[in-house]
Amino acid sequence: MSEFVVEPGAILAGAVRVPGDKSISHRALMLGAIASGRTGIRGFLEGEDCLATLQAVRRFGVAVDRPGPGEVVIEGAGLHGLRAPGGVLDMGNAGTAMRLFMGLLSAQAFDSELVGDASLMSRPMERVAGPLRAMGGDIATRDGRPPVRIRGGRPLHGIRYDMPVASAQVKSALLLAGLYADGETTVVEPAVTRDHTERMLQAFGVDVVARCGSASLRRPARLEATRIEVPGDFSSAAFFIVAACIGARAPFLIEGVGVNPTRTGLLEMLALMGADLRLFNHRSAGAEPVADIEVRPARLSGIRVPERLVPLAIDELPAFFVAAACAEGETLVTGAAELRVKESDRIAVMARGLESVGVRHEVLPDGLRIEGGPLGGGVVESHGDHRVAMSFAVASLRASAPIVIRDVANVATSFPGFAPLARSAGLRLAERDG
């Protein structure tokens, strides 16, 4: 089991460019696989999660070529061209892969079975299986968790589904199933969630009606292959944004970051704390907005986080907790119960990590109350959660002693190259076999 050892006293400096967006990379592979024609992807995230999706797509008989770093070429099989994979599909740590494939596979002519690593095998899947059954799908879970067994050959019909939780994965799975369903499929969300699926479906020529709070589509005749340029992952940039807020003495730059407004709640949260963040060089990568983000030194003060921002920063909350620990005064996050069913229980695991480095806090059922103050060193168990591991690496910028972060191999699921990139920006981070 590998570990990070991060020494205190570092100063963040310079500029970084983070790898491609995980959510967009998964979707580009899936839609490219069922499109008609050749889809070229640039900036693809070569992390373990997206490689699990790539492997699965190949198992469906789709030709996928990787001509160069970050480049993927898919010979689309068409809406009805996927073939039976012949055996169980392993999604590794990737919740997005499993849940989106559930939607796609419930509409295929063949049966399939999805499994994953220990973390994924303990995550809830009924939130997707339930509404897919209402569409006519035949899906079985084991006590609500994987393995997920899907019987193919079932005709699907569109439904209107009011999601009880704000989840882009649930929304996306239903929209993918809706590509094969009779009538209209409409998903209504209780709070705005990332809209990459809607944007990318439109890029593939599907008429998606996306209003604030809902998305609808009807079965298209086909998806037209296209070119996809994947922006830098905001969720990976988040570690450097927080790092710069707490550990830079001069402006720090993160270049080429996807700034889709359904993803950038962290910027608003940090701005409320007093952070000095500037976006410039706005451009677009296909359907997605991109910008460079500059962080200037500023003092952070504790805030009560508006709950509407939580779904817009759901993957960034571990890093935000570190910012809160370094702010003056108290920060309160509520309305974030979804954190309990991520790659780990991120409320419990982050709280234990904060405890280890001496940060006073209170655990709430749906969030954390954090008192800003000095950080010590200590041993942090990441429980194999990539975002927990990277968050505590960043915390070292304000720690008074080394932090050892255990079980960090899964950083490679979303952010291959994190350790060397962090070192290039000044972090004193060593990797070792623990």
User: Active-site residues: which are they?
Assistant: 315
Task: Using CB under 6 A, pick the residue from 194, 199, 346, 398 that binds ligand S3P.
Answer: 194
Stretch that binds ligand S3P, among 137-145, 166-174, 206-214, 243-251 (CB under 6 A): 166-174
Indicate the burial class of 155 (C-beta count within 10 angstroms; 0-12, 13-18, 19 or more).
exposed
Residue 191: C-alpha distances to residues 11, 212, 260 (Å): 37, 9, 16
Choose between 31 and 326: whose C-beta lies nearer to ligand S3P. Answer: 31
Alpha carbon 36 to chain centroid, angstroms: 27
> How many chain residues bind ligand S3P (CB under 6 A)?
10
Residue number with CB closer to ligand S3P (311 or 372) = 311
Q: Does 168 bind ligand S3P (CB under 6 A)?
A: yes
The interface mask with ligand S3P, positions 4-43, x = CB under 6 A, is: -------------------x--------------------
Task: Compute CA distances 243 → 18, 246, 314, whole Å.
Answer: 14, 5, 18
382 binds ligand S3P, rule: CB under 6 A:
no
Question: Which part of the chain contacts ligand S3P (CB under 6 A), choosing from 53-61, 110-118, 161-169, 388-396?
Answer: 161-169
Give the nearer residue to ligand S3P in terms of CB position, either 39 or 167: 167
**Least distance CB 172 / ligand S3P (angstroms):** 6
Residue ranges in 321-340 that form contacts with ligand S3P under rule CB under 6 A:
338
Q: Is 169 in the site for ligand S3P (CB under 6 A)?
A: yes
Q: Closest distance between ligand S3P and the C-beta of residue 280, in Å?
A: 27
- C-alpha span between 225 and 203 (Å, rounded): 9
Residue 64 phi, psi (nearest 5): -125, 125
Integer Cα distance of 109 and 74 in angstroms: 21
Q: How far apart are CA 364 and CA 333, in angstroms?
A: 9
DSSP 8-state secondary structure symbol assigned to residue 21: P
Give the 3-state secondary structure of residue 384.
coil
In angstroms, what is the minimal distance from the CB of 311 to ligand S3P? 7
SS (H, E, C) 207-248: CCEEECCEEEEECCCCCECCEEECCECHHHHHHHHHHHHHHE
167 near ligand S3P (CB under 6 A): yes
Asked whether 255 and 227 are in contact (CB, 8 A), the reply is: no
Q: According to CB under 6 A, which residues from 67 to 96 bind ligand S3P?
A: 96
Stretch that binds ligand S3P, among 57-65, 164-172, 265-273, 389-397 (CB under 6 A): 164-172
Shortest spacing between CB 260 and ligand S3P, in angstroms: 11
Alpha carbon 148 to its chain centroid, in Å, reads: 21
Q: Say if residues 127 and 153 touch (Cβ distance below 8 Å).
A: no
Task: Classify residue 417 as left (phi > 0), alpha (psi -120 to 50) or beta.
Answer: left
Cα 47 to Cα 249: distance, rounded to the nearest angstrom: 31
- Among the listed ranges 54-62, 163-171, 277-285, 388-396, the one in contact with ligand S3P (CB under 6 A) is 163-171
**Could you say which of 3, 233, 288, 315 contacts ligand S3P (CB under 6 A)?**
315
Dist CA 313 CA 168 (whole Å): 12
Rounded least distance, CB 342 to ligand S3P, Å? 6
Among 93, 141, 172, 185, indicate the residue that binds ligand S3P (CB under 6 A): 172
Where on the chain is the footprint of ligand S3P (CB under 6 A)?
23, 96, 167-169, 172, 194, 314-315, 338
